[in-house]
Amino acid sequence: MQGKAGISAFERLYGESMWTNASKHPKLNGIFNNAMVGGARSVVPALIDGYGEVFQGLTSLVDIGGGIGTTLQSIAKAFPHIKCTVLDLPHVVETAPSCPEVEFVAGNMFSFIPKADAVMLMVTYHSLLSRAMGVPV
Ligand SMILES: C[S@@+](CC[C@H](N)C(=O)[O-])C[C@H]1O[C@@H](n2cnc3c(N)ncnc32)[C@H](O)[C@@H]1O
């Protein structure tokens, strides 16, 4: 949501982006990441069952802003021929549970995206859009 001065409500209240704030507060970081896990668990089985054919031809896949890797863990288990990589901010990747099927890359998607046959953005597209359009969310 955009405020009068062109900054998000979160930034207006806390003086920094939600991601920067979460990087300084491990408890918030954990709560947020676990909330994302809940969302992924409820959606990804339907994605795999209903649209599995989109993954068949891939040998590598990057989940940009993939959180602690719940989505790609499920995809990697369902499609073991795909090399799965999560890109997320360092404070998120640091807390990801180890998962042999998924590689984690800590970084900023605006600076670097690992090469792959395909990239996916789940509940992250708004960050890209807002940056591209200069409209904070
Ligand atoms: C709303 S969450 C979605 C998480 C996951 N894709 C899902 O659907 O469960 C957005 C994710 O984007 C990550 N993120 C935000 N800005 C980023 C950036 N500049 N580079 C990489 N990841 C970023 C956040 O840390 C967070 O994990």
Once rounded to an integer, what is the mean pLDDT over residues 1-5? 51
pTM: predicted TM-score of the whole model, two decimal places: 0.91
CA distances from 79 to 23, 75, 113 (A): 32, 6, 22
What is the distance in A from the centroid of ligand 1 to the CA of 124? 6
- Per-residue model confidence as pLDDT tens digits over 97-113: 999 999 999 999 999 99
What is the distance in A from the centroid of ligand 1 to the CA of 134? 18
- Per-residue model confidence as pLDDT tens digits over 9-62: 888 899 998 999 999 999 999 999 999 999 999 999 999 999 999 999 999 999
| Band (132; pLDDT cuts 50, 70, 90) | low
Whose alpha carbon is nearest atom 9 of ligand 1?
36
A 10 A CB-CB count for 131 gives 13
Question: SS3 for 66?
Answer: coil
Candidates 3.40.50.410, 3.40.50.880, 3.30.750.24, 3.40.50.150; CATH matching 26-133: 3.40.50.150
Q: Given this model, what pLDDT does residue 62 score? A: 98
Domain ranges of the chain: 26-133
Q: Which of 110, 103, 68 is nearest to 82 (CA)?
A: 103
Using a pLDDT cut of 90, give the percent of the chain over it. 78
